[in-house]
Amino acid sequence: MSPVGTVAGTADRKRTTPRPAVTAPKRRLVVVSNRVAVPRHGRTGGEGGLAVGVKAALEESGGMWFGWSGKTVEHDVGEPEAAGLFEAGKTTYAMVDLTRRDYEEYYNGFANRSIWPLFHYRLDLADFNRRYLAGYQRVNALFARRLAPLLRDDDLLWIHDYHLIPMADQLRHMGCRQTMGFFLHIPWPALEVLLALPNHRALVQSLCAYDLVGFQTEDYRRAFVDYCQRELGATVDAEGTLEAFGRRVRTGTFPISIDTQSLAEAAEEAAGSRQIHRLRDSVRNRDLIIGVDRLDYSKGLLVRVQAYEHLLRAYPANRGRVVMLQIAPPSRMEVPEYMQLRHEMEAACGHLNGAFAEFDWTPVRYLNKGFSRRMLAGFYRTARVGLVTPLRDGMNLVAKEYVASQNPEDPGVLVLSRFAGAARELDGALIVNPYDLEATAEAMQMALALDLEERKDRYRTMIDRLRSHDIDRWREDYLSALAA
């Protein structure tokens, strides 16, 4: 299990003010996701948007969170009879172990070597081995068998992400008639790209077993509808409801967000901490540029290092004057393409430092480890520039966290890829095409040079959006649409 994920992660910070009351669903909420953020030793455990949003919904209304336990068992010793259950507060956690083979074929295989690269437009990296597909179907069927006996007739099911697309279909085959919603955290690709997936039709057919299918952006939703119309002959009405395979499926756009208020509080508090003082002392009077990403090829890490090299070549006055801090915790290390990226990043950062470093200045600090969100908030606030350059990204919460962490009186500037879902909302960022290295370098230069008034203006438009569209709003919008 990788150290940093959107669902499971290190301890979260408690809000100092209560969450606003939102319309809690009257029916019991059952959340299903690959990773489950289990509370440890009474501390809150969530890290990314999914964990924060789901936990808040379950704390409020009570319910169940079902998924993989994070454990693999070495041999297939026969399936356990039932999911392991335990209660914490109003929430029941129900979790299933996976055999090593299931984990390899379902998680490392179909989820992360077939769907993930394809949906992030990396056809060159996709592997459509049929063994992976079989493992994916097998684990979805196993999850459905373990969940079905725990369900009540009027439960609301909220199933998350690309690992679990066929789950509703599996449950329906077992006779489950509950309301079921799906939310996709990653991009939905254009029709021409999706057609490369050997079982694309069956996969989309299984999505039609849901009552509501939610996407991060309107572009992804439209791409899904486009596929259904052109490939399946589905009809769609003005509200985005599809008719396909004899079912009516609603579609919607629900951009995930962050706990804006608690991030801002954490950043302010962290600014006075010993570690942030240490960071500031080490950076001295230089400008800090920060990147924070799982070590994933979709995040555009290599082009980012190249763009930074362009910055140092095209604007040599920056040499000795800026420092780039790239935090890149290893992720999915059993998938060969991720290991390959690790080697490539080591070479790229080594090359850059070798070419430009001076005896008293190192241009890039490259760290293969994760930090708590509280520490990250302090790092973000210290950085004059936040660099978020994915080649394709469902949303990208780091972009939102960077903005929320800024000092309103002296905010930094976000340089953001147009291919991140977050670019649809964060229009105060300097938006770049990350494939265009020179333009990215120019945007970095501009970010370093922006005057205070313009930085404040850009920050204000973004923070207003993040305050009105925070993580509470995301789950409220999704759950009220699902329950409607």
Ligand X SMILES: O=P(O)(O)OC[C@H]1O[C@H](O[C@H]2O[C@H](CO)[C@@H](O)[C@H](O)[C@H]2O)[C@H](O)[C@@H](O)[C@@H]1O
Q: Site map for ligand UDP, 288-327, x if CB under 6 A?
A: ----x-x--------------------------------x
* Residue 398 makes contact with ligand UDP by CB under 6 A: yes
Q: State whether residue 302 is helix, strand or coil.
A: helix
DSSP 234-300: -EE-TT-EEEETTEEEEEEE------HHHHHHHHHHHTTSHHHHHHHHHHTTSEEEEEE--S-GGG-
* Residue 48 makes contact with ligand X by CB under 6 A: yes
Name which of 332 and 374 has its Cβ closer to ligand X.
332
Is the dihedral angle over the CA atoms 291, 292, 298, 302 positive or is it negative?
Answer: positive
* Residue 411 makes contact with ligand X by CB under 6 A: no
Least distance in angstroms from the C-beta of 45 to ligand X? 14
- Binder to ligand X among 49, 300, 363, 386 (CB under 6 A)? 49
Least distance in angstroms from the C-beta of 116 to ligand UDP? 10
Closest CA to 144 of 123, 159, 162: 159
Distance CA 213, CA 204 (A): 11
Least distance in angstroms from the C-beta of 49 to ligand X? 4
Span interacting with ligand UDP, options 81-89, 223-231, 304-312, 396-404, rule CB under 6 A? 396-404
DSSP 174-194: TT--SEEEEE--SPPPPHHHH
- Binder to ligand UDP among 109, 166, 187, 370 (CB under 6 A)? 370
* Residue 397 makes contact with ligand UDP by CB under 6 A: yes
First-last CA distance in the chain? 36
Name which of 296 and 309 has its Cβ closer to ligand X.
296
Is the dihedral angle over the CA atoms 150, 151, 155, 160 positive or is it negative?
Answer: positive
From the list 163, 185, 470, 472, the catalytic residue is: 185
Name which of 326 and 396 has its Cβ closer to ligand UDP.
396
* Residue 6 makes contact with ligand X by CB under 6 A: yes
- Residues of span 48-87 touching ligand UDP by CB under 6 A: 48
Least distance in angstroms from the C-beta of 283 to ligand X? 28
Q: Residue 206's binding partner, choosing from ligand X, ligand UDP, none, with beta-carbon cut-off 5 to 8 A by kind?
A: none
Distance CA 317, CA 320 (A): 8
Closest CA to 113 of 264, 334, 382: 334
Please state the φ and ψ torsions of residue 444, each to the nearest 5 degrees. -65, -40
| Element of type H or E holding 356 | helix 336-356
| Element of type H or E holding 348 | helix 336-356
Q: Which amino acid is at 189?
A: P
Q: Residue 378's binding partner, choosing from ligand UDP, ligand X, none, with beta-carbon cut-off 5 to 8 A by kind?
A: none
* Residue 432 makes contact with ligand UDP by CB under 6 A: no
- Binder to ligand UDP among 113, 304, 373, 455 (CB under 6 A)? 373
* Residue 161 makes contact with ligand X by CB under 6 A: yes
Is the dihedral angle over the CA atoms 105, 111, 116, 118 positive or is it negative?
Answer: positive
Least distance in angstroms from the C-beta of 277 to ligand UDP? 20
Q: Residue 50's binding partner, choosing from ligand X, ligand UDP, none, with beta-carbon cut-off 5 to 8 A by kind?
A: ligand X
Tell me, by CB under 6 A, how many residues bind ligand UDP.
Answer: 18
* Residue 371 makes contact with ligand UDP by CB under 6 A: yes
- Binder to ligand UDP among 144, 151, 204, 376 (CB under 6 A)? 376
Crossing angle between the packed helical segments 49-61 and 471-483, to the nearest 10 degrees: 60
> 451 catalytic, yes or no?
no
The token pair at 256 is: 């995930």
Is the dihedral angle over the CA atoms 452, 453, 457, 463 positive or is it negative?
Answer: positive
Output the 3-class SS for 401-433. Answer: HHHHCCCCCCCCEEEEECCEHHHHCCCCCEEEC
In the DSSP assignment, the letter for residue 163 is G
* Residue 50 makes contact with ligand X by CB under 6 A: yes
> 185 catalytic, yes or no?
yes
The token pair at 120 is: 């992030």
From the list 161, 259, 296, 393, the catalytic residue is: 393
- Binder to ligand X among 181, 394, 411, 412 (CB under 6 A)? 394
Interface with ligand UDP (CB under 6 A): 4, 6, 9, 47-48, 292, 294, 327, 329, 370-371, 373, 376, 395-398, 401
- Residues marked active site are found at 185, 393
Interface with ligand X (CB under 6 A): 2, 5-7, 35, 48-50, 161, 185-186, 256, 331-332, 393-397
